[in-house]
Amino acid sequence: MKFTKISAPSMKELFVRQLTEAILSGELTVGEKLPAERELAQQMQVSRAVVNSGINELARCGFVEVRPRQGTFVADFRRYGNMDTLIAIMEYNGGQLAEKQARDLLQVRKEMEHLACELAIDCASEEELGKLGTIIGEMKRARTSRQAAELAFQFQHELTYAGGNSMLLLIYYSFKGPAMALWEWFCKRHGMEELCHNYASLYEYVRMRDKRAVHQWIDYYLDGLIKECENP
């Protein structure tokens, strides 16, 4: 077995982690003003440079708001967060999606998948469809949930690319982290074989360019998952 190098978290990473955990746990509440950078540095025994860069990172993730000449305040990340916020929440939950997050992601994914498949049916070349079939073959040989999730994401990415909508492709790729977590979650619940079956069925309908069957299949398997998240 080959071992990899162990790297300790940087002071900035530890600073960001501590404040993120305080915000997500409710210890720090929305609208609460944080101490000044100098005071935070003294309390946490780090440099002001660490505090400053950490605050910038937290602001980028939607956890705090820096107001000129007023200070730094805890932001309402549920209302004003972004994809980095979701990834940070997943890391806080041990890399897993909570049931509500999984449901919300599936609802968005369902609409994206309808559009991606319809565009692919209209625009994809036979060569592009053949590439999708190759990915399905690789998925059937996957040996771990991580491999299966990677291939599921690769399939959806290539499918979206074949449809020719650049904005949809960018949006989908920005969901890679949560999408990977979602399909690993699915594999743990239902097995890799079920994930592969879902994608193989979707592929067959796209390959036949049967829009009605595609839409019915997407509704069938994703609505079932959404209901499962609503009634865990």
Q: Where are the domains of the chain?
A: 11-85, 97-230
**What pLDDT is stored for residue 5 in this prediction?**
67
**What pLDDT is stored for residue 6 in this prediction?**
66
Q: What angle do CA 87, 94, 29 make, to 5 degrees?
A: 65
Q: In this structure, which topology does domain 97-230 adopt according to CATH?
A: Four Helix Bundle (Hemerythrin (Met), subunit A) (1.20.120)
Q: For residue 30, what are its two tokens? A: 């929305």
**What pLDDT is stored for residue 4 in this prediction?**
66
Q: What is the CATH number of domain 11-85?
A: 1.10.10.10
Task: Point out which residues pair with 66 in neighbouring strands.
Answer: 72
Residue segments in the chain with a per-residue pLDDT below the cut of 50: none
Q: For residue 128, what are its two tokens? A: 């592009």
Cα 111 to chain center, whole Å? 16
